[in-house]
Amino acid sequence: STARKPLIAGNWKMNLNHLEAIAHVQKLAFSLTDKDFDRVEVSVLPPFTDLRSVQTLVDGDKLRIVYGAQDLSVHDSGAYTGEISGSMLAKLGCTFVLAGHSERREYHGEDDHVVNAKVQAAYRHSLTPILCVGEGLAIRQADGHVAYCLSQLDIALNGVKADQAKSLVIAYEPVWAIGTGEVATPDDAQEVCTAIRARLAELYDGEVAAAIRILYGGSVKSANIAGIMAQPDVDGALVGGASLDPVEFAKICRFGE
Ligand code: PEP
């Protein structure tokens, strides 16, 4: 992972209101040094209702934290009650947007084709998708995890051009490791991340594949991040539960130190 700057992204899920968000981001910023920010890109992914407050804080205090959203609509505007568009997120200064998080797939029926439409919607508004893939426990036990993740990847990237794909972030998040305390071994993470990179080289070319950051997600904590980051094809982490404590999250951003 030589040329790729590592990315640690905190997925807050449905936690922290906009006032709590401000306190959290301030604490996080104070817990990290310029040297830390030189070494790793630090991102938070708050609920939609927090984004305006986070934008005001990050801009006002010139924080080196980037932020994004947890979801977006496949549509750009119109009669889609309750939805949030990519252009709204871009206007709020979002860098990233998750696409295909397992909780969206599981609780909101998002299939690979919807995820593909969300990836395309993100690119239409110059947002960087963090495309999440990952197998459930039964698939892992049947040794189908690599093929399953590559199939998710193929469909999600349908129609995405090489110049767009260059900026893409992929998160390998085995569903059995999300929120369970059961982290994949560093070797398990590397196995799938290296297979994803090989597939990206087939879909695009080696240069594009080498530019794309591939994260691991699933019960990452400061106590297990170092082993994960030591893997050559793992370029960072998508962190759920442990991102809700700014001091712990900062420690993860320092790879456990
Ligand atoms: C996630 O929500 O993407 C995630 C990895 O959650 P956790 O770290 O809590 O397992």
pLDDT in tens, 48-67: 999 999 999 999 999 999 99
| Amino acid 1: pLDDT | 43
Atom of ligand 1 nearest to the CA of 132: 3
Strand partners, 67: 44
Q: CA–CA separation, 31 vs 62, rounded Å?
A: 15
C-alpha atoms less than 13 angstroms from C-alpha of 37 in its C-beta half-sphere: 13
Q: Which residue has the tokens 């085995």?
A: 174
Residue ID of nearest Cα to ligand 1 atom 4:
240
With beta carbons less than 8 A apart as the criterion, state whether 52 and 18 touch.
yes
More confident residue, 104 or 1: 104
E strands present in the chain: 7-11, 41-45, 65-69, 96-99, 128-133, 169-172, 213-217, 236-239
DSSP 245: S
Q: Is-catalytic flag, 173?
A: yes
* Phi, psi (degrees; rounded to nearest 5) at 65: -95, 135
- pLDDT at residue 199 above 70? yes
| Amino acid 203: pLDDT | 98
By mean pLDDT, which of 8-12, 70-74, 183-187 is the weakest? 183-187
Q: CA–CA separation, 249 vs 237, rounded Å?
A: 11
Q: Is-catalytic flag, 101?
A: yes
Residue ID of nearest Cα to ligand 1 atom 7:
240
**What is the identity of the amino acid at 191?**
E
| Amino acid 32: pLDDT | 98
CATH architecture observed for domain 7-90+109-129+144-193+204-244: Alpha-Beta Barrel (3.20)
Q: How sure is the predictor about 47, in pLDDT bands with cuts at 50, 70 and 90?
A: very high
* Confidence check on the interface: ipTM exceeds 0.90, yes or no: yes
- Tens of pLDDT, residue by residue over 211-244, are 999 999 999 999 999 999 999 999 999 999 999 9
Question: Which residue ranges make up each domain of the chain?
Answer: 7-90+109-129+144-193+204-244
- Tens of pLDDT, residue by residue over 80-129, are 999 999 999 999 999 999 999 999 999 999 999 999 999 999 999 999 99
- pLDDT at residue 2 above 80? no
Q: Please give the distance of CA 186 from its chain centroid, rounded to a whole number.
A: 18
Atom of ligand 1 nearest to the CA of 219: 10
Q: How far does the centroid of ligand 1 lie from the alpha carbon of residue 126, in Å?
A: 25
Catalytic residue, candidates 101, 110, 135, 145 = 101
The average pLDDT across 30-47 equals 98
Atom of ligand 1 nearest to the CA of 13: 2
DSSP 47: -
Q: How sure is the predictor about 3, in pLDDT bands with cuts at 50, 70 and 90?
A: confident
pLDDT over 90, % of the chain: 98
- Tens of pLDDT, residue by residue over 138-187, are 999 999 999 999 999 999 999 999 999 999 999 999 999 999 998 999 99
Angle between helix 112-124 and 145-156 (nearest 10):
40
Q: Is 136 annotated as a binding residue?
A: no
With beta carbons less than 8 A apart as the criterion, state whether 190 and 211 touch.
no
With beta carbons less than 8 A apart as the criterion, state whether 83 and 75 touch.
yes
Q: CA–CA separation, 129 vs 116, rounded Å?
A: 10
| Amino acid 243: pLDDT | 98
With beta carbons less than 8 A apart as the criterion, state whether 21 and 50 touch.
yes
* Phi, psi (degrees; rounded to nearest 5) at 9: -120, 130
User: Dihedral through CA 105, CA 127, CA 47, CA 245, nearest 10?
Assistant: 100
| Amino acid 124: pLDDT | 98
